[in-house]
Chains A and B, each alone.
Chain A
Amino acid sequence: MAVDKQESVKSLFTAQSAKVDTNRGDAYYEKLYAQCRARLDELKELAPLNNRMDFKESIEDEGLDRRDFLKWASATTAMLMLPASFTPLVADAAVMMNRVPVVWIELSDCAGNTEALIRSDGPKIDEIILDIISLEFNETLLAASGHQAEKQLEDAIEHFKGKYLLFVEGAVPMGMDGQYGTIGASGETFHDHLQRIAKDAAAIVAVGSCATFGGIPAAAPNPTDAKGVMDVVKGKPIINIPACPANPSNMVGVILHYVLTGSIPELDSLLRPKFAFGYRIHDNCERRAHFDAGEYVEEWGDEGAKNNFCLYKVGCKGPMTFNNCSIIRYNEGVNWPVGVGRGCIGCSEPDFWDKYAYERPMANANIKAPTGGVEKTVDEFGLGLLTAAGVGIAIHAAASAVAGKKESEKEA
């Protein structure tokens, strides 16, 4: 893919790393509030799609009361970085999630993101909301198969042309004309499948690290030439929700934001919503005090591990990883990787499998990666360069000592 030179220079100097503006002033929020109110009133007029479940009933069926729901609504408002006054709007929007059609397709992946959203110890509000969204098509959950399934997909595309949110899970294999991955009775390649469905989508949400950056299928040596959705689909708004798997709370956050405002949330340079990926997990980690104290787990199961010491020396990549899992955790706050005693593997960052996930102290990462092993190669290269310089100097010094002519000798 040739990138225009001028464009790439421009993008280089306008690149933004995470820079989160958490307070935009009263005027901004008042305007946004009015806009959201109008949007919700408009949605209220529409009938729920396809007789989807009613949210209030679903909540009662699961044995949760309204108080739980309101607690969830205020937590979600905070997660979306909106002022507390937006809580009633978020609650309203949640009820109207069944008015937004969603098509969910799966490409090169392990279905982990689908698993993340359908499995938990007991359905919590995030999962219930993902139950009631108007999921028009999802290969994993579909009862139909073959031509029947394709018919259903075509109906959904036709019926909700330009209105549906397309969720993509999994990378797009581009090698061998895309023949590494085909789907359906017609043997359509993943690439063509994605392009066909993306064409009529309102926006695309890439969930999980495979769909966003290629993830594990794209890890070195990337035999199928797997790519993320944003490298393949052009001219559509794309939101990336990386992580392995993506956190259902962040999926809900994005859909909710869409329902609430009719637009996509503010994104960083990797197209990740800033409300979720604006901070390093390191800065909100419960083990951070041990990092500062220099108290590290030296090996698995040692005294430090028993005392919940910092996992930096066993390969935790928290200091480099942008995600909100240290704040909201997984499965509605039950736990998260660092919480269970495993270091972060940077699963929400590009090339995470090669650059982050070696689960070893950074200096000992002897895994084959695009650069030959990241820090390990850096140190080896550096030491090699230093040795080469030392050898050069030694040769020059020895030659000087043997054959050099000092000024005083010249005169003599």
Chain B
Amino acid sequence: MKEGYKKVERMTPAMRIIHWVNVLSMIVAIATGLYIAAPYYQTFIADSAVDKYVMAWNRWGHFMVAIIFDVTSIIVAYLYFFSCFEKPWKKVIPTPTNIKEFFAVLINLITLNRSKNFDSSHSDSFNTIYFAIFHLLLAWMLLTGLQLYVHALASGESSIGAWWPWMLHAMTDWTIPASGWINGAASGMSSLMDVRITHHYTMWFIVVWVVFHIYYQVWRTIFWQEGDIAIAFGGEKFVKDKEA
């Protein structure tokens, strides 16, 4: 370890597992989701239909990672409030300390690290709010995705019982008028297409979110020189020891 620095733990093993499960899920969800939206590669016509199941495999993969995403989202939502390690909700509420820290970090970013007047040893308010945006985007994907999904269970039955489609309808049917409102459809005139459009839009917002997220973590690593990128791998970063 470099002289004058100490290790701080920032992500527990559980948090890191969730992080990388989400990364893999997202890559699969985007690759399969784009195929579902507009099948961009072709199957060989010469093969008989029984040997290929391309759209079905894409949909299967899409729904599988979606369900994994849904479950990690529930865990994350739980940890948001009840984690023993760190409770992110405390960083999202607009207290004077949080607001001050938020702008201090923002100023650090736009002044290219010329000003750095905050404690970078713990998760800061700026990053936590940026993650909160991600959680909201994901929640919207979850709800619209399940709404699009439930119509494949048109019989009202599923392999795990009738409660499942019933619950999905009860929880997500409101996304149809909500999506229609977002798309500017006249009141009472929204359809499943509106849900599909907003689901597709939100994918792009998430892609943009990811691009900045990766950039920002790499940028912090380079300019703060505290090994921030290591958080996602080993769970720890380094901060200057104040006593030293």
A contact residues vs B (CB 8 Å cutoff): 1, 3, 8, 11-13, 15-22, 213, 228, 230-231, 269-270, 278-280, 283, 289-296, 298, 303-304, 307, 312-313, 317, 320, 322, 346, 349-351, 355-356, 361-364, 370-371, 374-375, 378-379, 381-383, 385-386, 389-390, 393, 396-397, 399-400, 403-408
Of the listed stretches B73-81, B91-99, B127-135, B151-159, name the one at the interface; the rest are far from the partner chain.
Answer: B151-159
Q: Please name the residue on chain B nearest to A394 by beta carbon.
A: B215
Q: Which residues of B contact A370 (CB under 8 A)?
A: 183-185
Of the listed stretches B18-26, B174-182, B229-237, name the one at the interface; the rest are far from the partner chain.
Answer: B174-182
Is there an interface contact between A397 and B219, defined as CB atoms closer than 8 Å? yes
Is there an interface contact between A320 and B196, defined as CB atoms closer than 8 Å? yes
Q: Known contacts A280-B154, A371-B184; is A385 also within 8 Å of B37 by CB?
A: no
Q: How far is the CB of B41 from chain A (nearest CB, A)?
A: 8
Q: Which residues of B contact A364 (CB under 8 A)?
A: 38
Q: How far is the CB of B229 from chain A (nearest CB, A)?
A: 15
Of the listed stretches B6-14, B64-72, B82-90, B200-208, name the one at the interface; the rest are far from the partner chain.
Answer: B200-208
Is there an interface contact between A405 and B156, defined as CB atoms closer than 8 Å? no
Q: Which residues of B contact A406 (CB under 8 A)?
A: 113, 222-223, 225
Is there an interface contact between A407 and B223, defined as CB atoms closer than 8 Å? yes
Is there an interface contact between A375 and B37, defined as CB atoms closer than 8 Å? yes
Is there an interface contact between A22 and B156, defined as CB atoms closer than 8 Å? yes
Q: How far is the CB of B242 from chain A (nearest CB, A)?
A: 14
How far is A385 from B137 in the complex, measured between Cα atoms in Å? 16
- Contact residue among B109, B184, B188 (Cβ-Cβ distance under 8 Å from A231): B188
Q: Which residues of B contact A350 (CB under 8 A)?
A: 185-186, 189-191
In the complex, chain B residues 28-52 whose Cβ is within 8 Å of any chain A Cβ: 37-39, 42-43, 45, 49, 52
- Contact residue among B37, B56, B112, B191 (Cβ-Cβ distance under 8 Å from A293): B56
Is there an interface contact between B55 and A291, defined as CB atoms closer than 8 Å? yes
Is there an interface contact between B211 and A11, defined as CB atoms closer than 8 Å? no
Is there an interface contact between B55 and A293, defined as CB atoms closer than 8 Å? yes
Is there an interface contact between B197 and A378, defined as CB atoms closer than 8 Å? yes
Q: Which residues of B contact A405 (CB under 8 A)?
A: 112-114, 223
Decide if B54 is an interface residue (CB 8 Å cutoff): yes
Q: Which residues of A contact B184 (CB under 8 A)?
A: 370-371
Q: Known contacts A292-B55, A295-B45, A313-B39; is A355 also within 8 Å of B193 by CB?
A: yes
How far is A407 from B228 in the complex, measured between Cα atoms in Å? 13
Closest 5 CB pairs of A and B: A294-B54, A382-B204, A292-B56, A363-B38, A350-B189
Q: Pick 19 A–B contacts, CB within 8 A, sort by A.
A: A12-B177, A12-B181, A15-B173, A15-B176, A15-B177, A16-B169, A19-B166, A228-B189, A230-B188, A270-B189, A293-B49, A295-B43, A320-B191, A381-B201, A381-B204, A383-B204, A393-B215, A400-B222, A405-B112
Is there an interface contact between B169 and A17, defined as CB atoms closer than 8 Å? yes
Decide if B163 is an interface residue (CB 8 Å cutoff): no
How far is A400 from B215 in the complex, measured between Cα atoms in Å? 12
Q: Which residues of A contact B54 (CB under 8 A)?
A: 293-294
Other A-B pairs, 15, CB within 8 Å; known A351-B191, A375-B37: A11-B188, A17-B169, A213-B189, A228-B189, A269-B176, A269-B188, A280-B151, A293-B52, A296-B39, A312-B39, A362-B38, A378-B200, A386-B208, A396-B215, A404-B113
